[in-house]
Amino acid sequence: MKKLILLAAWAIAGVLLAADKPSKPVTAEFATAQEMKDNWEAWTAFLKEKYETLPEDKKPRTERDWQAFIKEKYQGTEEWHLFDGSRVDLVTKDYAIELDWASETLKWAESIGQSLWYATNLDKKPGVILLVPVPSTAAASDSPETAELKRGVKSNIHKAITVCQRAGIKLWQENLYEYTGKTK
Ligand SMILES: [Ca+2]
């Protein structure tokens, strides 16, 4: 009897704890454009909350940090090793994905080549995630350097969209400022 009461208490506590958690989006593969939009927004909200709960020294900064931070949104496995020593940033059920900064001059083009190589090796579809960086401080977001950076990002993303559409590569754009709560 005592055991039964303990078990019941444990079950109730479990339900209460579960109810407290944010409702986590389920999957990165979607049936319709609307579901994709809804789920993308749900993931953004979920990861924003996760970002806020991280201590300052654990918040993502580098490309690798961000890769680890967003991987569950894509249901991806990190750092898949290929026979030639190259490493695939994220591997999902359907995609071999290269992830890189949208702000760096030729990274978008390199990402396209890398995703094609990874996809060929793993017999998956090629995918690229371009990371749009967060301005480092509030003051910096108004500086000429930031304006220049934004123009560069816009231009690189435009080129990446054009080539990815033509080559049949899936392209995602991750606006990292959406998770940090900082403005563009
Ligand atoms: Ca990369």
In whole angstroms, how far apart are CA 146 and each of 26, 67, 131, 134, 152? 35, 23, 15, 10, 10
The pLDDT score that the predictor gives to residue 24 is: 59
CA of 107 to the centre of ligand 1 (A): 8
How does residue 143 score in pLDDT terms, banded at 50, 70 and 90? Answer: confident
CA of 8 to the centre of ligand 1 (A): 48
Distance separating alpha carbons of residues 63 and 7, to the nearest angstrom: 45
The pLDDT score that the predictor gives to residue 137 is: 59
CA of 33 to the centre of ligand 1 (A): 27
Q: Do 106 and 98 contact (CB within 8 A), yes or no?
A: no
The pLDDT score that the predictor gives to residue 30 is: 55
Mean pLDDT of 151-177: 94
CA of 35 to the centre of ligand 1 (A): 28
Least confident of 44-48, 83-87, 137-141, 167-171: 137-141
Residue 29, helix vs strand vs coil: coil
How does residue 52 score in pLDDT terms, banded at 50, 70 and 90? Answer: very high
CA of 20 to the centre of ligand 1 (A): 35
Burial class (CB in 10 A: 0-12, 13-18, 19+), 12: exposed
CA of 159 to the centre of ligand 1 (A): 18
How does residue 69 score in pLDDT terms, banded at 50, 70 and 90? Answer: very high
How does residue 5 score in pLDDT terms, banded at 50, 70 and 90? Answer: low
CA of 109 to the centre of ligand 1 (A): 12
Whether the model clears a pTM of 0.75, i.e. scores above it, the answer is: yes
How does residue 118 score in pLDDT terms, banded at 50, 70 and 90? Answer: very high
Burial class (CB in 10 A: 0-12, 13-18, 19+), 47: buried
How does residue 129 score in pLDDT terms, banded at 50, 70 and 90? Answer: very high
How does residue 26 score in pLDDT terms, banded at 50, 70 and 90? Answer: low
CA of 47 to the centre of ligand 1 (A): 20
CA of 67 to the centre of ligand 1 (A): 9
The pLDDT score that the predictor gives to residue 35 is: 72
Distance separating alpha carbons of residues 76 and 89, to the nearest angstrom: 9
Number of domains in the chain: 1
Distance separating alpha carbons of residues 146 and 139, to the nearest angstrom: 10
Containing domain of residue 123, as a range? 2-180
